[in-house]
Amino acid sequence: MSPHSVIVSDREFRELLAKLSDQETYAIDTEFHRERTYYPKLALVQVAWGDELALVDPFAVDFSLFESVLQGPHTAVLHAGDQDLEILQLVCGTVPQKLFDTQIAAGFMGLSSPSLASVHERFLQISLEKGDRLTDWLARPLTDAQLIYAANDVAHLLRLQKVMIDELRQRGRLQWALDECEVSRLRTRGMRDPSQAWRRIKEVRSLKGQARAVAQSVAAWREVRAAEIDVPVRYVLSDIAVCSIAQKPPTSISALGQLRGVDRSVRQDIAEDLLRAVKAGMNAPVPSLDDAAVAPLEKDMRPAVALASAWVSQLARDLEIDPAILATRTDLEQFLRGDPAARLRSGWRSEVAGRAIEMLLAGEAAVAFGGSGELVIEERSRRPYGSES
């Protein structure tokens, strides 16, 4: 691949967009920071196509124009692209119409959430140079070392995709991987659900009764406020402050200022808004510690989760598929609960595991040791152990 170019003008960026319009595939990666903002702040975009590679400075161009490429018929190749897709959605208002994620693809060939370096070593026998994980991508000018490190993130992705596609096709799993990439592409991104923000505060789980409802309301207020002014939630209100407010709900600004973790210099209008959230929590139903949207699994079905989970883990090893891709514990619980939207009820997962688990639940099959320590699902004999044949 030819040396990278650095795009720092609208003219150069328009030329890049024109070149990409003729490509079937392109590789893309982003560098960003979100330590001081609610939403990620784009700092650099790396794009590779054909035998060319460009680094785009989003501070120097209107990167939202990249929407034309994302909306085109091209396939975007990324590695562990979930956060890249988030920022593309934020800046360009859309995500690629076709996606190939090399981390997802690797999961169908025995690797579990591998790093970019790992897949390069496994499929291309290339060792990527290690860079400074804490480098400041927002600084300008970027150093040559930073630019080279960034370029390496996409320099070999298109060749990697071809190698992976060949192996996936040989294993009969190419469509499985493409289907999973499509699920990732369509995943909802953006602002987190404010009503669920309280679940990310560890200390809230120990709160009882109405205090938990207040914590839910205050944490939701904090989430919305942080998104509005684009700062991390901790800059609005610390976790300690959320819990202290929930334990001793204030009814006045002076009482609010006496609580641990609360900034006494908070603006009056913000304080009044927060007090309204406290009052709303005092009158709200107490949220369950479990996900209210998911009914708990019946007690007599819990052993089936353990049994099916053990077999699925064995199956994943036998098939060389990342267990998290095949079926998580949540997937198994949704399946056993009879959820029609459970991933194990459709597509390749149903063929590989879902049908066998259904037979297990129906008493038509049993799990047994295969003789070498592995677990297998076999036709059930229906003869109790020790009975005469």
- Please report, for the chain, the start and end positions of each structural domain, with discontinuous segments joined by +: 5-186, 194-282, 299-379
Helix ranges (DSSP H) in 10-78: 10-20, 67-70
Q: For position 362, what pLDDT does the model report? A: 83
Just give the CATH number of 299-379.
1.10.150.80
Average pLDDT, integer, range 60-74: 97
Q: Tell me, yes or no, if the two domains 194-282 and 299-379 fold the same way.
A: yes
Average pLDDT, integer, range 57-63: 98
Which of 376, 305, 319, 380 is CA-nearest to residue 349?
319
HEC letters along 175-243: HHHHHHHHHHHHCCCCCCCHHHHHHHCHHHHHCCCHHHHHHHHHHHHHHHHHHHHCCCHHHHCCHHHHH
| Whole-structure pTM value | 0.89
Average pLDDT, integer, range 166-175: 98
Domain 194-282 coded CATH 1.10.150.80: yes
Q: For position 1, what pLDDT does the model report? A: 53
Tens of pLDDT, residue by residue over 234-267, are: 999 999 999 999 999 999 999 999 999 998 888 9
Q: Which residue has the tokens 């196509």?
A: 49
Q: What is the dihedral of CA 272, 278, 280, 285, to 10 degrees?
A: 170
- Whole-angstrom Cα distance, residue 158 to residue 75? 10
At 294, is the pLDDT very low, low, confident or very high (cuts 50, 70, 90)?
A: low
Q: Which residue has the tokens 């493409």?
A: 178
Q: For position 110, what pLDDT does the model report? A: 93
Q: For position 292, what pLDDT does the model report? A: 44
Which of 66, 50, 49 is CA-nearest to residue 13?
66
Helix ranges (DSSP H) in the chain: 10-20, 67-70, 82-92, 102-107, 116-119, 144-155, 157-171, 174-186, 210-229, 233-236, 239-247, 253-257, 268-282, 302-319, 323-326, 329-337, 347-349, 355-361
Query: Which 3 state secondary structure label does DSSP give 135?
Result: coil
Q: For position 365, what pLDDT does the model report? A: 81
- Which residues are CB-contacts of 99 (< 8 A; sequence separation ≥ 6)? 75, 76, 78, 81, 85, 181, 182, 184, 185
Residue 207 contacts residue 201 (beta carbons within 8 Å): no
> In whole numbers, what is the pLDDT of the chain averaged over residues?
92
Most confident of 57-71, 291-305, 349-363: 57-71
Residue 294 contacts residue 335 (beta carbons within 8 Å): no
Question: What percent of the chain has pLDDT above 90?
Answer: 81
User: Does the pLDDT value for residue 387 go beyond 70?
Assistant: no
For residue 98, count CB atoms less than 10 angstroms from its CB and return exposed for 0-12, middle for 13-18, buried for 19 or more: middle
**Phi, psi of 20, rounded to the nearest 5 degrees:** -70, -25
Q: For position 291, what pLDDT does the model report? A: 59
Average pLDDT, integer, range 151-178: 98
Average pLDDT, integer, range 124-137: 87
Domain 5-186 coded CATH 3.30.420.10: yes
Residue 44 contacts residue 77 (beta carbons within 8 Å): no
Residue 122 contacts residue 106 (beta carbons within 8 Å): yes
User: Does the pLDDT value for residue 298 go beyond 80?
Assistant: no
